[in-house]
Amino acid sequence: NWPTIAEEFVQSLGLTFNPYVTQIEPHDYMASLFHAVIQFNNILTDFDRDVWAYISLGYFKQITKAGEIGSSTMPHKVNPIDFENSEGNLGKANAGLSYLSMKLPISRWQ
């Protein structure tokens, strides 16, 4: 019974036996993990936008740094640049994670 022998051998090495693979290990678990991270990043993006709006509406006050120039059209204004950068970085991360979550489960000639 070669399937049982193969399973026992793989498990004796301390590995998890997966009977339904070809030559490569499946990456489905990574795709699921990346989708979960994307969902978490979306929550953070929503938070960034909310805080940015609260600062813009004056509910929150952003501390100005000495010598820092604000908007190019309104030098006295302080842009919430950290939240804008966070939003952009999260979007970039989501693009990469989305690509990987679609690409990794697919293999050629397997």
How does DSSP assign 68-99, residue by residue?
Answer: ----SS-TT----HHHHHHHHHHHHHHHHHHH
Going by C-beta distance under 8 Å and a sequence separation of 6 or more, which residues neighbour residue 12?
none
End-to-end CA distance of the chain: 25
User: Residue 89 is which amino acid?
Assistant: N
Please state the domain extents for the chain.
Answer: 24-103
pLDDT digits (tens, 9 = 90+) for 24-75: 777 888 999 999 999 999 999 999 999 999 998 989 988 877 777 666 777 6
pLDDT digits (tens, 9 = 90+) for 68-99: 766 677 766 777 889 999 999 999 999 999 99
